[in-house]
A and B are shown apart, each in its own frame.
Chain A
Amino acid sequence: MSVLDKFSDPKLCRSLLDRIHAELDGELRFMEVCGTHTVSIFRSGLHSLLPDRVIHLSGPGCPVCVTHESEVAMYLDLASRDDVIVATFGDLMRVPGPGGRNLKAAQADGARVAVVYSPFDAVKLAQANPDAKVVFLGIGFETTAPTVAATIQMAAKAGLDNFHVVSFHKLVPPALRALMADPELRVDALIMPGHVTSIIGPRAYDFLAEEFHLPSVVTGFDPLDILQSLLELVRQKNAGRAEVVNMYTRAVPEEGNPKAMSIMNEIFVPADALWRGIGMIPGSGLEIAPAYERFDAKKVLGLELVDVPPIKGCRCGDVLRGKLTPNKCPLFGKACTPAKPVGPCMVSTEGSCAAYFKYNTEL
């Protein structure tokens, strides 16, 4: 058995499941902040094995899902410009904007859209197309932002004047603070995103225990990681404790990744940001710092957010705030499917609606 296989070893997982069944006292409503945890819970079949009293709620941890309607409208307008090549990660291609339009449709209409696997490829694209303005869609959390920052550094070093980033990056801790302050939210504990935490370090969440008395665990994405974390949360809850525990020490150092943070903090500055379904959260986004504003697509190309009304009937906001499980949304599986997504939670590979639709055998 390889080291990796050990993290999904059926015997170990079974014994942890048994412990959770035996020790769970009452209901455990936990939020998986990161969409990849949601997908993992379904893909591994854990959803069908956990006790019914373990209720998992999605959080705001899918970068595609939290991209605001106005931000989608902005980059779709940008894509329609003749002098612009939009470079993007594949996830955004099918995200519906106003009128159900998306980048795939824009591309079919003649927009120049390039799917890249790394933001560095967008720099290469700019070098290969000196007559066009290449704009990278900077969407993602603390995991992605340092790489995009390094890309801007690279473009600066190469003296490029046709590479720009439209920064819609978002920060996880301010969003969690805003969510947890919501009196309507019923969450007992949280599973924190492993990738984000590998950058910012687990201490960034101490406020959850101190201010909100919420147990939380930083964990990986294999079944064993998730089960160990749930057992820890059950035990903390039973004992009335609230601590932030790092159970993903193989990937998450206590201090995070100071080098990545330093690059991110050199290129970006915190800013207010719009979150889909949640609205404006102060200090929860990243803007390009004034010293690098020649790379800032919003400034160079004069882009502005315009008000876009929320999509009628779409309850992605409630899903992202843990107030609704996807299958309880009236549009789920009817008006909203992966073939014709109404909201982004159905379109993103990490979206909780997509995970419910794609993997849930009980539907």
Chain B
Amino acid sequence: MSDKKVLLDYGSGGKASQRLISELFKAHFSNPVLNRLDDAAFLDIAGPIAMSTDTFTVDPIFFPGGDIGSLAVHGTVNDVAMLGARPRFLSCAYLIEEGLEFEVLERIVASMARAAEKAGVYIVTGDTKVVPRGMADKIFINTTGVGTMLTDAYPSGENARPGDVVLVSGTMGDHGLTILAQREGLPLETKVESDSAALNHLTEKLVTEVGDIHVLRDPTRGGLATTLNEIAQSSSVGIQLEEELIPVNDGVRSGCSILGLDPLYLANEGKFLCILPEDKVEKALEVMRADENGHGACRVGTVSAENAGKVIMRTPLGGKRLLNMLEGEQLPRIC
């Protein structure tokens, strides 16, 4: 493309749009399904299937550990994977603000292509709209994912049972604090980096090699605390956490301490939690720790019939406190 910036013409459906599709999207996303460029993608897929959609509006669009493009792939791939499915195809719709540097768009598209390849999914259909300057903030991306189910007894937030164990795949709050620190230009003493990653290869191993996985969830917005509260309520069980077992990076811990934020309410984009029967724990941890996205996996709590609907945390001192659902967004404190 010869233009340096994205023009309104690119969303017109005319020649400029065609050039964008052939010289950018097709060049990066090339795969047999997309390359036909029909009005719809022909998918050779048999049910039952899992499907999820999400729209990504992250600011800033490039951040340590990722960018809006890879995030848009990881987010939807992970949502499909958390149902115990193998994500196969993604659609991808861009809403671009007129004037975005073409080089920026290309970096994002290339990053999406790399993320999709690593996750083993095809981007098979898409859409581009360009809106006048000021009508959107740089770029928004929507992705929809479709995957094939790997098990009939699929994991669900309703399936936590008393006696089950809660595992997490690694440290909590990395993505949320990274975005906040970048957006606000906060000078944190220790480097923090987003954990953005596709988790489907690991969850597939858990579902097929370990089995009997009751719940799989990626604690994105609202963090671990909010996700566990949703599970406690959906399954009508109580969840007890051991605070000292929950992994949090030192940089995230100290950044949160300065800002008055709780890492357990911050978003994660490359972590998941897994609830399963006690007799499966050892095998599950072995599988998780052998994977690049699960080497920090550990046990953090248990499920019980008491305190149904509540998440209760045992502090290192042996005291107890409620871990409530997040109300709105976390806001930093005055002093």
Contact = CB atoms under 8 A, between A and B. Distances in A.
Q: Are both chains from one complex?
A: yes
Given A44-B317, A48-B320, A361-B312, A350 B331 contact: no
A46 B260 contact: no
B171 to A, nearest CB: 16
Interface string A100-137: 00001000000000010100010000000000000000
Contacts of A14: 317-318
Given A90-B331, A117-B186, A117-B332, A42 B316 contact: no
Contacts of A317: none
A93 B331 contact: yes
A10 B320 CA distance: 14
A57 interface: no
B317 A223 contact: yes
A45 B324 contact: no
Interface stretch (A140-148, A209-217, A268-276, A308-316): A140-148
Contact of A43 (B259, B314, B315, B332): B315
Contact of B327 (A13, A36, A338): A338
A144 to B, nearest CB: 6
A90 B329 CA distance: 10
Contacts of B312: 361
A115 B318 contact: no
Interface string B82-104: 00000000000000000000000
B324 to A, nearest CB: 5
A43 B331 contact: no
B250 to A, nearest CB: 8
Interface in B274-322: 307, 310, 312-322
Contacts, number: 92
A139 interface: yes
Chain A interface size, under 10 / 10 to 19 / 20 to 34 / 35 or more:
35 or more
A115 B186 CA distance: 13
B328 interface: yes
Interface string A24-64: 00000000000010000011111111000000000000011
Nearest to A358: B324
Given A117-B184, A338-B327, A91 B334 contact: yes
Interface residues of B, number: 25
A359 B335 contact: no
Given A89-B332, A117-B332, A349-B333, A361 B322 contact: yes
Contacts of B321: 42-45, 47-48, 359-361
A339 B327 contact: yes
A298 interface: no
A265 B316 CA distance: 43
B335 A360 contact: no
B316 A8 contact: yes
B296 to A, nearest CB: 19
Contact of A63 (B324, B331, B335): B335
Interface in A198-234: 223
A93 B307 CA distance: 32
Contacts of B331: 89-91, 93-94, 115, 349
20 contacts: A44-B321, A45-B318, A45-B319, A45-B320, A48-B319, A48-B321, A89-B331, A89-B332, A91-B333, A91-B334, A140-B335, A195-B335, A223-B317, A349-B260, A349-B333, A350-B333, A350-B334, A357-B324, A361-B322, A363-B322
Interface of A: 8, 10, 13-14, 17, 36, 42-49, 63-64, 89-91, 93-94, 104, 115, 117, 121, 139-141, 143-144, 195-196, 223, 338-339, 349-350, 357-361, 363
Given A45-B315, A361-B312, 15 more contacts: A10-B317, A43-B315, A46-B317, A48-B320, A63-B334, A64-B334, A89-B331, A89-B332, A90-B333, A139-B334, A349-B331, A350-B335, A360-B322, A361-B307, A361-B320
Ordered nearest first, which 9 A-B pairs have the shortest CB separation? A45-B319, A90-B331, A45-B315, A359-B321, A338-B327, A143-B335, A48-B319, A49-B319, A361-B320
